Amino acid sequence: MLKENLRTVEEKIEAACKRAGRSRDEVTLIAVSKTKPLEMLQEIYDTGTRHFGENKVQELCDKMEQMPSDIQWHMIGHLQRNKVKYIVGKVALIHSVDTYRLAEEINIQAKKRNITVPILVEVNIAGEESKFGISAEDAILLVEDISRLENVQIKGLMTIAPYVADPEENRLYFRRIKQLSVDITNKNIDNVSMEILSMGMTGDYEVAIEEGATMVRVGTGIFGERIYKKSNV
Ligand X SMILES: *Cc1c(COP(=O)(O)O)cnc(C)c1O
Work out how close the CB of 82 gets to ligand X at its nearest, in angstroms, rounded to a whole number: 20
Task: Assess 218 for contact with ligand X (CB under 6 A).
Answer: yes
For residue 30, list its beta bridge partners.
217
Based on its alpha-carbon atoms, the radius of gyration of the chain, rounded to whole angstroms, reads 17
For residue 174, how many other CB atoms are within 10 A of its CB?
24
Task: Assess 201 for contact with ligand X (CB under 6 A).
Answer: yes
Q: Which is nearer to ligand X, 9 or 142 (CB)?
A: 9
Work out how close the CB of 190 gets to ligand X at its nearest, in angstroms, rounded to a whole number: 28
Q: Which is nearer to ligand X, 178 or 217 (CB)?
A: 217
Q: Which of residues 16-35 bind ligand X (CB under 6 A)?
A: 32, 34
Residues 6+ apart with CB under 8 A from 106: 84, 88, 94, 97, 117, 119, 149, 151, 152
Q: Binding residue for ligand X (CB under 6 A) from 49, 55, 107, 147?
A: 55
Tell me the C-alpha distance between 179 and 14, whole Å: 23
Number of residues that bind ligand X (CB under 6 A): 14
Q: Which is nearer to ligand X, 72 or 202 (CB)?
A: 202
Task: Assess 219 for contact with ligand X (CB under 6 A).
Answer: yes
- Please report, as ranges, the residues that interact with ligand X according to CB under 6 A: 32, 34, 55, 76-77, 160, 201-203, 217-221
